[in-house]
């Protein structure tokens, strides 16, 4: 419905910019999740949206912009309260507590 009534009437340029911003946002959100290989090594998932973007965007400068923007958004700090709220929402979406690792950066992680 949103596409039919809103996005179908917008310009191609607006759709393109919106999609790039959506990929950057996905990169920032995915940097909150990762796998803990050891106490000091966390496999961060922020490059996954960039890999998907290589399949969608043919121009290399768009990929560079997306990569730099995802890298810059990794410096945005998430407070402990926000970490807990996101972690709780993630658990509820998966049907309760599971064996997931929620990470904010390579230095801060919350494990159940």
CA-nearest of 20, 72, 81, 75 to 49 is: 20
Higher confidence at residue 88 or residue 25?
25
3-state secondary structure of 79: coil
pTM to 2 decimal places: 0.62
Distance separating alpha carbons of residues 47 and 55, to the nearest angstrom? 13
| Consecutive H or E run containing 27 | helix 12-30
Domain residue spans of the chain: 2-111
- Read off the pLDDT of residues 71-82 as tens digits, 9 standing for 90 and up: 888 777 555 556
Instruction: Give ∠ CA 67-68-74 in degrees, rounded to 5.
Output: 95
- Sole residue written with tokens 């507590």: 97
């Amino acid at each position: 419905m949103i596409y039919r009534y809103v996005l179908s009437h917008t310009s191609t340029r607006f759709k393109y910019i919106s999609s790039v911003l959506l990929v950057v946002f996905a990169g920032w959100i995915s940097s909150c999740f990762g796998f803990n290989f050891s106490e000091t090594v966390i496999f961060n998932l922020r490059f996954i949206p960039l890999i998907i973007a290589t399949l969608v965007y043919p121009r290399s400068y768009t990929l560079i912009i997306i990569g730099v923007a995802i890298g810059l958004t990794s410096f945005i700090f998430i407070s402990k309260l926000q970490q807990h709220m996101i972690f709780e929402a993630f658990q509820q979406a998966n049907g309760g507590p599971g064996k997931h690792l929620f990470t904010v950066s390579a230095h801060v992680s919350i494990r159940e």
